[in-house]
Structure 1
């Protein structure tokens, strides 16, 4: 990708071409955002296949192995950009804690504001020359609208206070700084001036996972990225993300992924050939 930003309209003609000649699983050096307005496509990421109900957002962070397989009714927008083009995006940060980011959107928001913003971005991108400064602002507005809609849905489906959300975001930032160290749940609780029990309650309320599960997820997501993108040995990768013994790293990885790190690497290499 030699441009900082690209946008494609997923109309009938484009979708027909993709369905006839589907792309193989691949990894790329940029962020990808799919605004799904209609259809029921399948999305394959990190060896897991999901059927996505529209309207929805699919975010694929840099380095992930994935494959997007639309049905003939799929419509929407495909946006690709370098992370430096939209550094304020929360998608990139949260992708460090989840294998895949996709969620449903409200019909009203998706088919009106998001489609309109994407159309405006497309208009500025196809100008000669492209108006990248305007696109930056419109992309930020698009990402903000998506985040706002998702936050509203969470608020409507759960009773989560603003203080819980604030503490949870601070916790994730602490994890991002310290996950390679063997820090306890109590360490994070102390940093946030709360108890370990309360921190676990906050994490389960906001993210449906315990403190330990979130830390473990962050370690394993980083490990998978390194397995796919580096020449380091499995032992070196395990040690880098905080596992001092290869056997323990392999055991934790296998329990979570269903295959060993070595098998994961073999499958990734085979897919990308």
Structure 2
């Protein structure tokens, strides 16, 4: 991919084309966010195969060996695919790597979250189709997508071990940000936004880790 950002939609017709085409496990030189509202996704990643019913989210970091097969369910398929270079949102890429490491797929519990994500994807798509798309607008909307996704992740029922692991990763990323910006006058809201959470949640995580 030569573009710094690309977005497209996989419908039932596109799904049929992909199913009947050669599709071997491969790697990308870009990041890929997949948001599905209808259909299924057969995702081979980390040498394991997963089959998910919509609504679902999948994030594939560059360099990961994977294969995606969008499938019909009840004759329907509606999936957004957003591809972007790491430098497009460089300030948040490391947070994404930590959040999705070893857990590339998220099964959403309701369609309400997808509806919000779908609305934002439509706005991004409309901007992308402009003769001269404003990448600053797309960048902000893409960050908003990840903020909503992280919020959805926190709503899922995580066991205590998984919760502590995520909190540990968040705290580590917070320390990295502190090291990068300690010479600047940044408040807690700045760091919380970079980590896709509220300042209250960041404070709670720091308290839990430091206790």
Residue 56 (str. 1) matches residue 56 (str. 2):
yes
CA contact (8 A) 1:60 1:100 kept: no
Q: Paired residue for 1:5?
A: 5
CA contact (8 A) 1:11 1:76 kept: yes
Q: Any idea what the Cα deviations from partners look like across 1:216-254, whole Å, max 9, x if unmatched?
A: xxxxxxxxxxxxxxxxxxxxxxxxxxxxxxxxxxxxxxx
CA contact (8 A) 1:19 1:72 kept: no
Residue 71 (str. 1) matches residue 74 (str. 2):
no
CA contact (8 A) 2:27 2:66 kept: yes
Which whole-Å CA distance do the structure 1 matches of 2:169 and 2:78 have between them? 35
**SS at structure 2 position matched to 1:7:** strand
CA contact (8 A) 1:46 1:99 kept: yes
Change (3 A) 1:24 1:148: same
Residue 92 (str. 1) matches residue 93 (str. 2):
no
When normalised by structure 1's length, the TM-score is 0.56
Which whole-Å CA distance do the structure 2 matches of 1:166 and 1:50 have between them? 25
Residue 127 (str. 1) matches residue 126 (str. 2):
no
Task: Give 1:91 shift.
Answer: 1.8
Change (3 A) 1:168 1:29: closer
Task: Give 1:68 shift.
Answer: 0.4
- The CA RMSD over aligned residues, in Å, is 2.8
Which whole-Å CA distance do the structure 2 matches of 1:36 and 1:68 have between them? 12
Whose Rg is larger?
1
- Extract unaligned runs of 5+ from structure 1: 176-201, 204-273
Q: Paired residue for 1:258?
A: none
Task: Work out the number of aligned pairs and report it.
Answer: 172
* 1:79-158 superposed matches below 5 A: 79-87=82-90, 88-89=92-93, 90-95=95-100, 98-154=101-157
Task: Give 1:159 shift.
Answer: 6.8
Which whole-Å CA distance do the structure 2 matches of 1:59 and 1:163 have between them? 21
CA contact (8 A) 2:15 2:70 kept: yes
Q: Which has the higher contact order (CA 8 A, sep 6+)?
A: 2
Between Structure 1 and Structure 2, the one with more strand by share is: 2
Q: Paired residue for 1:241?
A: none
Which whole-Å CA distance do the structure 2 matches of 1:92 and 1:150 have between them? 14
Change (3 A) 1:159 1:70: same
Q: Any idea what the Cα deviations from partners look like across 1:60-79, whole Å, max 9, x if unmatched?
A: 10101111012123321011
